């Protein structure tokens, strides 16, 4: 639902709800396990559409298949300020993995965020259809900066017992 007031406030409002669906239905690949669902509320000045405020309520966010899937353990409310999604305190976890995200992400602002944690690489296998096997534990402390089209990644990553197979 989009509404724009050109007469008084010169402000637009966007509200979008996505019921929980499998990512494969949105992205067209064969990931049977990953899900996403949420509600976006966004208010913006007409003359600066990408500088709005609001929030994104994630009802479901899960990546990968059990037992290695990464998921937000509860509903998460992520504020939007200056057109950028604020990721402070967003954690994706499972029994063997934990990935903590911090910073912001926006169309105009790009990446200004960090990711820290331990990731069982098997969680990513459903997202990589050309791979037959992906294993190992990745410990990471990385920073992503710059435009969405060409981010700069810096930091450290340590892979233990890594293994992959490509068909």
Instruction: Give residue 66's pLDDT.
Output: 73
Q: Mind listing the pLDDT tens digit for each residue in 82-125?
A: 999 999 889 988 878 899 999 999 999 999 999 999 988 887 77
Q: Mind listing the pLDDT tens digit for each residue in 56-73?
A: 999 988 887 777 778 887
φ, ψ at 130 (rounded to 5°): -80, -5
C-alpha R_g of the chain: 18
Which residues have C-beta within 8 Å of that of residue 167, sequence separation ≥ 6? Answer: 130, 131, 132
**Dist CA 3 CA 14 (whole Å):** 7
CA proximity to 91, closest of 112, 118, 68:
118
């Amino acid at each position: 639902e989009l509404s724009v007031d050109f007469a008084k406030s010169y402000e637009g409002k966007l509200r979008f709800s996505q019921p929980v669906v499998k990512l494969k239905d949105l992205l067209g690949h064969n990931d049977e396990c990953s899900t996403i669902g949420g509600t976006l509320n966004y208010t913006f000045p007409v003359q600066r559409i990408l500088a709005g405020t609001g929030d994104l309520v994630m009802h479901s966010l899960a990546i990968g298949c059990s037992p290695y899937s990464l998921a937000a353990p509860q509903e998460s409310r992520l504020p939007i300020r200056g057109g950028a999604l604020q990721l402070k305190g967003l954690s994706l976890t499972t029994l063997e993995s934990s990935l903590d995200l911090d910073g912001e992400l926006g169309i105009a602002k790009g990446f200004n965020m960090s990711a820290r944690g331990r990731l069982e690489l098997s969680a990513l296998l459903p997202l990589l259809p050309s791979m037959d096997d992906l294993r190992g534990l990745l410990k990471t402390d990385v920073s992503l900066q710059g435009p969405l089209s060409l981010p700069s990644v810096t930091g450290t990553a340590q892979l233990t017992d890594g293994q992959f197979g490509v068909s």
